[in-house]
Amino acid sequence: MIDSAFLDEAAKAVVEGNSQRAEEIARKGLEMKLDPLELINQGFIAGIMKVGDLFDRGELFLPELMLCSEAMKAALNVLNPTISADKKQVGGKIVIATVEGDIHDIGKGIVVSLFKAHGLEVFDLGRDVPTVKIIEKAEEVGADIIGTSALLTTTMEKQKHLEEALRREGLREKYKTIVGGAPVTERWARKIGADAYAEDASDGVRKVFELLKIKSALAG
- The residue ranges of every structural domain in the chain are 4-86, 89-219
Q: Which of 23-32, 46-55, 179-188 has the lowest mean pLDDT?
A: 46-55
Indicate whether 85 pLDDT > 90: no
Q: Which residues contact 186 (CB under 8 A, 6 or more apart)?
A: 197
The answer to whether the 4-86 and 89-219 domains have the same CATH topology is: no
Distance, CA of 122 to CA of 130 (rounded, Å): 18
CATH of 89-219, one of 3.20.20.10, 3.40.309.10, 3.40.30.10, 3.40.50.280: 3.40.50.280
Indicate whether 50 pLDDT > 80: yes
Domain 4-86 fold:
1.10.1240
Mean local confidence (pLDDT), 113-121: 75
Indicate whether 117 pLDDT > 70: no
Q: Say which DSSP state 197 is in.
A: E
Mean local confidence (pLDDT), 202-219: 82
Task: Quote the crossing angle between the two packed helices 62-79 and 19-31, to the nearest 10°.
Answer: 20
Mean local confidence (pLDDT), 93-117: 84
Indicate whether 87 pLDDT > 60: no
Q: Which of 2-11, 70-79, 137-146 has the lowest mean pLDDT?
A: 70-79
- Structure confidence at residue 26 (pLDDT): 97
Mean local confidence (pLDDT), 119-133: 92
Backbone angles phi, psi at 156, to 5 degrees: -55, -30
Q: Which residues contact 142 (CB under 8 A, 6 or more apart)?
A: 93
Q: Which of 46-60, 75-89, 128-142, 161-175 has the lowest mean pLDDT?
A: 75-89
Residue 110 banded pLDDT, cuts 50, 70, 90:
confident
Indicate whether 89 pLDDT > 60: no
Indicate whether 116 pLDDT > 70: yes
- Structure confidence at residue 86 (pLDDT): 54
> 132-175: per-residue pLDDT in tens?
999 999 999 999 999 999 989 999 999 999 999 999 999 999 99
Distance, CA of 124 to CA of 185 (rounded, Å): 22
Report the candidate in 198, 197, 195, 199 with the shortest Cα–Cα distance to residue 212.
195
- Structure confidence at residue 1 (pLDDT): 87
Mean local confidence (pLDDT), 93-97: 96
In this structure, the number of other CB atoms found within 10 A of the CB of residue 151 comes to: 23
Residue 3 banded pLDDT, cuts 50, 70, 90:
very high
Distance, CA of 104 to CA of 152 (rounded, Å): 9
User: Exposed (0-12), middle (13-18) or buried (19+): which is 87, by Cβ within 10 Å?
Assistant: middle
- Structure confidence at residue 91 (pLDDT): 60
